[in-house]
Amino acid sequence: MQQSYTTLNNGIQMPLLGLGVYNMHSAEAEAAIHAALETGYRLIDTAASYGNEAEVGNAIRNSAIPRSEIFVTTKVANTDQGYDNALRAFDASMQKLNIDYIDLYLLHWPIKNTRKETWQAVEKLYTEKRVRAVGVANYLVPFLEELKTYATVIPVVNQAEFTPYLFLKDLLQYSKQHAIQLQAYSPIVRGKKNNDPKLTAIADKYNKTPVQIILRWAVQHGVSTIPKSSNPERIKQNFDIFNFSISDNDMMLID
C-alpha cells in the first residue's frame, strides 16, 4: 500500500501519515517504530520533551529502510526556549537521535516571552542548512499572524490538535492560504469516540473502522496526521486508509 505525500512550501516532500511516539519508551518505542516502518510508514514524529529521541534514532539506524526515505520530526521543548537555549537544544536532539540530519524541527508551543527569539534560533538552523525544514506546533491563527510580523522564513508545518470533534476550520483555511501544512496530533481523539453512533454508521458504510474514517477524513482535507500506537495490529490498521475515498456528503457530515 502506497503512502501519500505532500510537498512543503520549501519544496521538500513529507508523508501525509506518520507515527506519533508520545509517551513511548525503551523497547516498546523501538518495536513500534520497527512495525511502522515495516508497514510502510515513512514519517516518525518525536520531541525533546517525550524523552525518547534515543530510541527513535536506534530504531531508524537498525531499520533496513534507507535513511533518505524516512522523515524525522522533533521539537524544541518549552524548557529549552530562548535563542541560545534553542540552539543548544537542537544539538542535544541531534546527539540523542544520532542520525545524520533532522528533517523537520518544530517550536513545540508558543510561549509568550520566548517564542520570538526561539523562532529566530530555529530560522538560523534552517538558513545554515542544519535542518531540512522548520515549523511550529500549537499555533492558532493569532499566533501565526504574530509570527508573520518578524519571521523571515514561513513555517512549513503547523502541528495542532485537529479532529472532527475539534474541527478548526479557520486554522485549516488559514494554513491553506499561507502554504503552511497543517498536521494533526491526537487525531483519533485517544480512542474516546470509537463508539459514536454517527461515526460508526459511516465506518460501517465503507467497511472501515471509526479510526480509519477519522484518519482518511484528515488526509482528504489535505491534513497530515500522526496517530500514536504501539500495537502492531493497530499500526497496520491505521495505515490502511489509502485504498478508499469518503464521499463529499460524508466529509461534510464528519465536519
Residue 173 Cα to chain centre, angstroms? 18
Helix (H/G/I), strand (E/B), else coil: 153: coil
Among candidates 64, 8, 13, 22, which has minimal Cα distance to 43?
A: 13
Find, among 70, 88, 69, 72, the residue nearest to 80 by Cα: 88
Q: What is residue 135's DSSP assignment? A: E
State the virtual CA torsion across 80, 83, 86, 90 in degrees, nearest 10. Answer: -160
Task: Return the closest-CA partner of residue 47 out of 100, 87, 105, 116.
Answer: 105
Residue with cell 514524529: 45
- Count the neighbouring beta carbons within 10 Å of the beta carbon of residue 88: 14
Asked if 50 is an active-site residue, the reply is yes
The phi, psi pair for 34, rounded to 5°, reads -60, -45
Structure-block grid coordinates of residue 207: 467497511
Q: Which of 50, 126, 139, 174 is catalytic?
A: 50
Enumerate the active-site residues. 50
